[in-house]
Structure 1
Amino acid sequence: MKFIKVLILSVLFSYATGIQAQQKYLVYSPDHKIEVTLSVSDSVYYTVKADQKELISASAIALDVDGKNKWKVAKTSRAKHNDILHPVVWQKSKDVADVYNQLRLDFNNGLALEWKAFDNGVSWRWLSKLKGDFVVRSETAKFNFKGSGKAWYPQEEQFFSHNEREYKNYTLDQLEDKKLASLPALFQVGELKLLLTESDLFNYAGMWLRGTGKGGVRGVFPAYPKVKAITSDRDEQVKQREDYLAKANGEQSFPWRVIMVAREDKDILVNQMPYLLGRPSTGDFSWVKPGKVQWDWWHYNNVYEVDFKAGINNDTYKYYIDVASKYGIEYVLLDEGWCDTRDLMKQAPGIDVAELAAYAKSKNVDLLLWSSWLVLDKQLDMALDQFQKWGIKGIKVDFMQRDDQEMVNYYEKVAVAAAKRKLLVDFHGAYKPTGWLRTYPNIMTSEGVLGNEISKFAGSITPSHTATLPFTRMAAGPMDFTPGGMRNVHKKEWAAAPSEPMTLGTRCNQMAMYVIYESPLQMLCDIPTHYLKEPLSMEFIKAVPAVWAKTVALNGKVGEYVTMARQAANGDWYIGSMTDWSEREFELSLSFLPDGEYEMQVWKDGINANKNAKDFKMEKLQVNRNTPLNIKLASGGGYVARLIKR
């Protein structure tokens, strides 16, 4: 009898344990079309459904903090959130709807897990409630995609990288463990697109991806540096790493893992999850001023038809300032060469920054200065204090090429130090943005993109590539692609010309980038001499702003074409359209316009643009929100328009 009782109790215990292991926690998007199901056992597992179709099958997530990897739920809480945010610096819009449902699980091991479900994606993050010092040994983040599909995959060789990658196309089953990628990365699962990235990355290591070999990917992370070596005036490489990812102390939140969900490709263009998941800013950033920037390095200061010797000298930069002033360009950037790369206080012969800053101020133009991260790290306070005294308004910080915890903390240190002196920041040789624009609005833009600078050396910046970026890299945040090339050519004519570069695609394709590509510091990459010779193109570039009050995605297909409408702060509307090497014709609706009549100024591919990529035509139309609009794009072509209410 005793044996039977023991057996019954054992069976009941096993059954109860099974129930515990199979306990489910659900969170839905506000419109109930996206569903996340969590289960807790040896790890935490999640699945994601959209429109009742499974997109991500049961996938493990975990955080190993000093071996605290036992998962028992102690408390569950839920919340609904509905708010409107007003960004200090506009990117896609002046107002951002922040609407989500939240689920939080607090575990007995001192950790918590928080999920947010939006109508256009889901995200999770870990939180620590631990006391004292601890280390994060590892993090598990798996994405087991359901069924077949394909990827736009920014494949990398190693963690030491500028993250300037071509998005390679793979089927999901081709994603093997050896295929490393940086973020963001885009995947098609069934008929939907999923974009993976992260937000609120502070005091932690950045997430990368590796294939699982089973139709999915998993997060991987650069461990904390143990041995480093300076290998040049700008490079510090990690030679040996610790057996942990990050060091921490006390309560801390970890980065958000972001999964955007798009039913149409164009939905990605208006998704603002990285911004929404960034932590709010503190302090006064009302001094931050977006704008366009005349850049020098792309063409090696190769101005001509002037009465002075062109190069890195004050005469050349005064010429840049004069042209910027003529076209209302807010900034001129002095890139590499203005100073010794090992000493920011040692100016190059022929350069007097104080004199240039005073001259620029007299022309209503401000200056930005370049620095490698390594010398800036050594001279941070001294250099930024001097820049402030000179009247410099921002810095371009270059060649970090890492996102381990130590380097991530460097980014924040620079942002804070720059903000203290009311300096803007542009990060180059950098990882993708992770909600910076919300947390530190003085971080205006960053690279981490295979951009126009490569056109100096290689023909890889194709219209197919540039029609991919709005759906991939730009989804993470502002990108310093550096548009504005005037020597426009087709494939057969392209050649490397580093001091007078060519760009692939038509003139209107380059012009459309000023509407399509988001960067509150938006570069003009070409020689000022070229701009002076192109008054019709400059009529548009002079007018187009660098930030937007409203964005409407009109159409789009990854790597093929994209069309957007955006409203400027003054109420004017702009339309931009780009295509790959295929000619296209679109019927567009102007229903996004408010009521009223508009003058529409158009710059479109000329009748000979398929032969001569520089060919374009201007015209003026009278339209309203009911006017049908037909646009034609040449091979590698583009289209831009400005609509002014009468």
Structure 2
Amino acid sequence: MRITLTTFLLALTISSWGQKKYQLKSPDGKLIAAISLNDKISYAITHQNDTILKPSVLNMTLNNGVTWGKGSQLRSAKTTTSHQQINALFYKRNQIDDHYNELVLSFKENFNLIFRAYNEGIAYRFVSTSDKLITVKNEEAIFNFTKDFNAYVPYVKGKFKDIESQYFNSFENEYTYTPLSKISADKLAFSPLVVSLDNGKKVCLAEADLESYPGMYLTNTNGSKSLQSNFAHYPTATKQGGHNELQQLVTAREPYLAKSKAKAQFPWRIVIVSTNDKQLADNDMVYKLAAPSRVADASWVKPGKVAWEWWNHWGISNVDFEAGINTETYQAYIDFASKNGIEYVILDEGWAVNKKADLFQVVPEIDLKKLIAHAKVKNVGIILWAGYYAFERDLEKVCKHYSEMGVKGFKIDFMDRDDQQMVDFHYRAAEVAAKYKLMLDFHGTYKPTGINRTYPNVINFEAVHGLEQMKWTGPELDQVTYDVTFPFIRMVAGPIDYTQGAMRNATKRTHRGINDEPMSQGTRCRQLAQYVIFESPLNMLCDSPTNYEKEQECTDFISTVPTVWDQTVALEGEIGKHIAIARKKGDQWYVGAMTNWDARKTELDLSFLGEGSYVAELYRDGANANRIASDYKKETITIPANRKLSVSMAKGGGVAMKIYKK
């Protein structure tokens, strides 16, 4: 239902200052956005009498000299409330309760400013009402906090000579926990970004519906208690280069951010407010604010698991051929996938001739038609890796050719930008791929902003400091703490291609980066738990068939755990310390829990199960897991009648379980 109301709007005109103030409340009345219009437009946010943001200006400057938000003349103001159910595809729940109050401010300068108040946050966006094309020169989004709070800052990773060079990055990050005033003026950070407030509250800054516009970076250039927006300008010129000649490197930029179509809708700026950390581990605002699906029938999109070779370095043994990029190796991966009910096998980098950026040049060691035919007989789909430029330059031809051959999708890699040109590519790729019934996994790219709702064939994203980092780093990298940090921050934006599933597991002391025989930090049960905790509709099995066949009990759990869900419940969690999540598919529940490097005993509240008697297949850390990380124990237990289940986790440990009625 959608109802137009006026009771949610409070308008106050102060004639002596010529100032108008509007107030918009969340449906539960706890969150309030106070919008002020005078020479500038600003907004402030309170939550149950706590000030979340002090008055913070927002504006957008066009190339014609007009600035929306400075000296703008209000034409009208209208409020509505909306309460509806969204049928979500390939997501952590199949139904989303979409309930908000909305304020639309219309201005004589041919734009609207829309605010929405949800129970979990406030969002706003600019909308052009002009029939003409416009050019956006700059946008200013300021987030003014009341104190010098600490923030979890995902700086752009690497060493850079200036801000411009930071716009070319992989969007993989660790988090720096620092006061707002100490955020480096020389570094960009990308959203989502979380700020810790008083009284256990957190603010997560994010964006949604990023279409035909650059992504928003966050920075603090003046040592204040504020965060300011920053955007890559539109490329004037690019050249082929980068990784294996598969990237487009920006050599010059225009003096503007974006050229936008008539009546363009610009991205939502989101301020999520939580009262406890577990709320951040289960938040739907980015998905709710994204444009609805443009794919009329997405029934052909089949999420699932993927047997993957790159992480384990084609690590098959006990065979009569030399494992590597060749037909025999991929046939073995297909046979393994088929035997274990795994839906897909990926051919990662190497199947196409190197440094040619031409996806029609297949290396002679690969008989692609033979592999696709073999996979079809085995009821396994083939997904192909593609470097960005190789895919973009022949987009329609590549999609048509490989769709007709029987390929099910592409993993596109090394975009490493989020200016308007690159954002446009993502939408264009999604549209063309949908036309040919191809799924897309965007790797080497910016965080999701809702395109997975708009184009449900976009089935996954990287933009995460995933398990691949374990191949080349040792104990100096604390991946275990990262694993219990990003589900509260990065995963707010959407699903992740983290690529878990390691069967070689190491403690903090024993982990080493070994490319040919990589290992994970933390316990075996931690790897199992990640298949429940991490949202990943297309989910990799990163280790080799040889290792999985030695560990069939764990393989059976991994291969049968769902990748999309009917329901999700965040059970508990604290950023950087621990997390526990329950997810339901059909009549079965799965629960995953992880801790940081602290051994932890916790009591899980399983009251969501409802009435009846339940049994759980429980995978827990073994008695010696603190020393031998692969040590685990599987047991079948009865869920207590009071629904309180005590579980213990080793250092860097985890728990995974499958729950079903007796």
TM-score bracket, normalised by the shorter chain, equals: over 0.9
State the 1:111 CA deviation. Answer: 1.0
Partners of 2:397 and 2:640 lie apart in 1 by 55
Distance 1:48 1:602 in 2: 44
- For residue 551 of structure 2, what is the amino acid of its counterpart? E
* Cross-structure match for 1:74: 75
Does residue 551 of the first structure (1) align with residue 568 of the second (2)? Answer: yes
- Tell me which residue corresponds to 1:86: 87
Q: Which residue number corresponds to residue 150 of structure 2?
A: 150
Which whole-Å CA distance do the structure 2 matches of 1:480 and 1:178 have between them?
Answer: 29
Aligned equivalents of 1:348, 1:271: Cα separation in 2: 44
**How do 1:379-528 residues align onto structure 2 when only pairs under 5 Å count?**
379-459=394-474, 460=477, 462-528=479-545
The DSSP-based 3-state class of the residue aligned with 1:360 is: helix
- Does residue 278 of structure 1 match 2:290? yes
Structure 1 residues 427-470: Cα deviation after superposition (integer angstroms, max 9, x where no partner):
01100000112100000110011101111111325210111110
Among candidates 170, 181, 202, match of residue 211 of structure 2:
202
What code does the residue aligned with 1:67 have? Answer: G
1:173: which partner in 2? 181
Tell me if the contact between 1:594 and 1:625 (Cα under 8 Å) persists in the aligned partners.
Answer: no
Q: Of 517, 530, 555, which aligns to 2:547?
A: 530
Residue type at the aligned position of 2:191: L
DSSP-derived class of the 1:359 partner: helix
**CA RMSD, 1 decimal:** 1.3
**CA-CA distance at 1:148 after TM superposition:** 3.2
Paired residue for 1:562? 579
Q: Does 1:186 align with 2:194?
A: yes
**Equivalents in 2 of 1:362, 1:480: separation in Å?**
27
Instruction: Report the Cα offset of residue 173 of structure 1.
Output: 2.0
Question: Take 2:145 and 2:184, find their aligned partners in 1: how far apart are those partners?
Answer: 14
Q: Secondary structure at the match of 1:532?
A: helix
| Match of residue 643 from structure 2 | 627
Deviation at residue 308 of structure 1 after TM alignment: 1.5
Q: How many residues of Structure 1 are paired with residues of Structure 2 in the alignment?
A: 629
Q: 1:219 aligns with which of 229, 237, 242?
A: 229
Indicate the residue corresponding to 1:113 in structure 2: 113
Matched letter for residue 147 of structure 1 = K
Q: Distance in 2 between matches of 1:145 and 1:234?
A: 42
Contact 1:450 1:461 in 2 (8 A): no
> Hey, what does 1:26 align to over in structure 2?
23
**1:148/1:189 contact within 8 Å kept:** no
Q: State the secondary structure of the residue aligned to 1:213.
A: coil
Q: Give the percent of matched residue pairs that are identical in Structure 1 and Structure 2.
A: 40
TM-score between both structures, scaled by the size of structure 2: 0.93
1:125 is aligned to 2:125: yes
1:23-75, Cα deviation, whole Å (9 max, x unpaired): 21110000000000011122210101111110100111001123222311111
- How far apart, in 2, do the equivalents of 1:280 and 1:394 lie? 22
Aligned equivalent of 1:244, options 252, 256, 272: 256
Task: Point out the more displaced range, 73-82 or 373-382.
Answer: 373-382
What is aligned with 2:6?
none
Corresponding letter in the other structure for 1:218: Q
Q: Return the match for 1:230 from 234, 240, 248.
A: 240
* Structure 2 residue identity aligned to 1:502: M
Mapped contact 1:494–1:504 kept (Cα < 8 A): yes
Q: What's the CA shift for 1:354?
A: 1.3
- CA-CA distance at 1:536 after TM superposition: 1.4
- Partner amino acid, structure 2, of 1:518: E
Give the match for residue 51 of structure 2.
Answer: 54
Q: Residue 265 of structure 1 contacts residue 558 of structure 1 at CA under 8 Å; is this kept in 2?
A: yes
1:542 Cα deviation from its structure 2 partner: 1.9
Distance 1:213 1:100 in 2: 35
Residue of 366, 383, 387 corresponding to 1:372: 387
- Cα deviation for residue 19 of structure 1 reads 3.4
Q: Please give the alpha-carbon distance, in whole angstroms, between the structure 2 residues aligned to 1:113 and 1:261.
A: 21
2:110 counterpart letter in structure 1 = G
Give the CA deviation at 1:249: 2.6
Question: 1:317 corresponds to which residue?
Answer: 330
Q: Which moved more, 1:440-449 or 1:298-307?
A: 298-307
Note closer, same or farther for the CA distance 1:415–1:625 as it changes in structure 2 (3 Å cut).
farther
Equivalent-residue separation in structure 1 for 2:247 and 2:478 (angstroms): 26
**In the alignment, does 2:43 pair up with 1:42?**
no
Return the offset for 1:624: 5.5
Equivalence for 2:660: 644
The one of 324, 329, 340 aligned to 1:327: 340
The separation in 1 between residues aligned to 2:622 and 2:581, in whole angstroms, is 21
Give per-residue Cα distances to partners, 1:392-447, cap 9 Å, x unaligned: 10100000011110110000110001000100000011000001121000001100
SS of the residue 2:29 aligns to: coil
Query: 1:625 deviation in Å?
Result: 5.5
Alpha carbons 1:224, 1:406 under 8 Å: kept: yes
2:400, 2:540 → 1: CA distance? 25
- The structural deviation recorded for 1:633 is 0.4
Give the distance between the partners of 1:184 and 1:400, measured in 2 at CA: 19
Q: Output the CA distance in 1 between the equivalents of 2:115 and 2:92.
A: 25
- 1:203–1:408 Cα contact (<8 Å) kept: yes
Gaps of at least 5 residues in structure 1 are 1-14
Helix, strand or coil at the partner of 1:499: coil
Q: Which residue of 2 aligns with 1:354?
A: 369
Alignment-mate amino acid for residue 612 of structure 1: I
Structure 1 residues 619 and 29: alpha-carbon distance in aligned structure 2, compared to 1, 3 A threshold: same
Please state how far the C-alpha of 1:176 moved relative to its aligned partner.
Answer: 4.3
AA aligned opposite 1:419: A
Q: Deviations over 1:528-576 (max 9, x none)?
A: 11000001111211221111111111110001100011101x2110110
Provide the rounded CA distance (Å) in 2 between the counterparts of 1:148 and 1:138.
27
